[in-house]
Amino acid sequence: MAKVKIVAATGCPTGIAHTFMAAEALKKAAKHMDVEIKVETHGQAGIENALTKEEIEAADGVIVAADKDVNTERFHGKRLVDVPVAKALRGAEELIQQIIDKSAPVYRAKGGVLPEEATGEDNQPTGKKNIGRSLYKSLMNGVSHMLPFVVGGGVLIAISFLFGIYSADPNHESYNAFAAFLNKVGGLSFSVMVPILAAFIAEAIGKRSGMVAGFIGGLLAVESGAGFLGGIIAGFAAGYLIVLLQYLFKKLPRSLDGLKTIFLFPVLGIFLIGAVMYPLMSPVAALNEAMMAFLASVQSSSPLLLGLIVGAMCAFDMGGPVNKAAYVTGTLLLSEGNLYFMAGVSAACIAPPLITAFAVLFFGKYFNKEERNSGMVNFILGSTHITEGAIPFAAKNPIVVLPILMIGSAIAAIMTYMFGVQVPAPHGGFLVLPVVTGAVKWVIAILTGSVIGGVLFGLYRKKIANGKPIEG
């Protein structure tokens, strides 16, 4: 009997950890189940190990474990398992089994016609998607493309401040030409964050034509002061406007497809997104300003409450939707000049892997050899803001471990807000310490939360071991 062949694609919004951990989990499960698999990864460096048309055609099924757009149109007519990236980490064998059992539905791309063998009664063709998940993937597609602009621009601006807070001002005595250059280039990167966000939200929905309309909608949001809220609205509006146009013009001859793509959709898309955004700009701008004012007041008046909420969210599912809600908010607030909120989010994301690392360091005999090795590696992962290193520890008993991680993350976030730390980049962990305002206090906050969490986790492992060392 021939081996089952599967192709897969993984991708997470940041394209750093979940993407490759999910790919590794699928490969490991496939090897254990004697299944042939090739996994395409959509990381921050782009698409790696890309699937060819021949490989897709030869596959018995496809697994897409992604929280961003990975172009599923090419999988038309194939059995498709489409899940969030975290599901591949927790249940890779279950996903593969759906292909083996032929219980996965056959995917039909928009307007596609399935081959005869794929339309049997036991195998109803499907192209339907969960609406909430589709919206989430579109938003995350925008965030993943926006991140490099945030990181690059934010760090360059922060470096310029090392020459003096007014070093980019030619009328100030501390003016420095190189600092002014850094500030200007970084500022340009920051200035396109919202348009990029809107463009790639729309691109996930309406493809290239959507990207054009989304970018213009994002520019309108920036110009009006509607900020990232306006950018998100513009992205979704532009994407679905293009989908509407595609529907309205679908009966045009195929010979006019080029005309639609290069002329009709861009012209009408830009016109329509302008017509939609103009009446919305004032109320959305007011809402955006109100939210900024509210967050500023909470940061100063209730750092305990804010830190508790942010810390709990970041550690709750470590890279999942709840974690991403806090992370995306912090990232987008950077475009509004708010560097405080991101500081707490980063601290809370760094803490979970460090908690497991300290637990292994202090209570090593209550962990097996594999856990001890993973714990030591988590010192590196945590220090570079890769939260997912804590997932294997949490997965063994999430009911107990997740609250411990949430406590440690909350302590780190609360102290960060109380210290008034500012972090200009949404990723990098301790690598961005040179440009962090209040760097020493930030490290103290993170280590305090991590050590307390580590001790709690270690005591829990000691209790379940009944005082006996874990073998191995």
User: Own/partner pairs for 110-118, CB < 8 Å, 24+ apart?
Assistant: 110/73, 111/250, 112/73, 112/76, 112/77, 114/76, 114/77, 115/77, 118/77
Q: What b-and-e string marks burial along 104-119, b requiring 16 or more CB atoms within 10 Å of the CB? A: bbbbbeeeeebeeebe
- Please tell me which residue in 9, 12, 65, 386 is annotated as part of the active site: 12
Q: What is the pLDDT of residue 280?
A: 87
Domain boundaries, the chain: 5-128, 132-300, 302-464
From first to last of its 472 residues, what are the pLDDT tens digits of the chain? 578 899 999 988 777 777 888 899 999 999 999 999 999 999 877 889 999 999 999 999 999 998 888 888 899 989 999 988 888 887 889 999 999 998 989 988 765 544 443 333 333 344 445 687 788 888 888 888 888 888 788 788 878 877 877 788 888 888 899 999 998 998 898 889 889 999 999 999 988 889 999 999 999 988 888 888 888 999 999 999 999 998 898 888 877 777 888 888 999 999 999 999 989 888 988 887 887 777 777 777 788 988 999 999 888 877 667 777 788 888 878 877 788 888 999 999 999 999 999 999 999 888 888 888 888 989 988 888 888 788 888 878 889 999 999 999 999 999 999 999 998 877 778 888 888 889 999 999 999 999 999 999 999 998 887 655 555 4
User: Measured between alpha carbons, how far is 66 from 443 in angstroms, rounded to an integer?
Assistant: 32
**In whole angstroms, what is the distance from residue 175 CA to residue 14 CA?**
36
First vs last C-alpha separation in the chain: 38
Q: Are strands 5-11 and 36-43 parallel, antiparallel or unpaired?
A: parallel
Check whether domain 5-128 has CATH 3.40.50.2300, yes or no: yes
| Bridge partners (DSSP) listed for residue 7 | 38, 62
| Residues making up the chain, counted from first to last | 472
Strands 61-66, 80-83: pairing is: parallel
* Chain centroid to CA 242: 25
- Residue 12 annotated among the catalytic residues of the structure: yes
Q: What is the pLDDT of residue 125?
A: 40
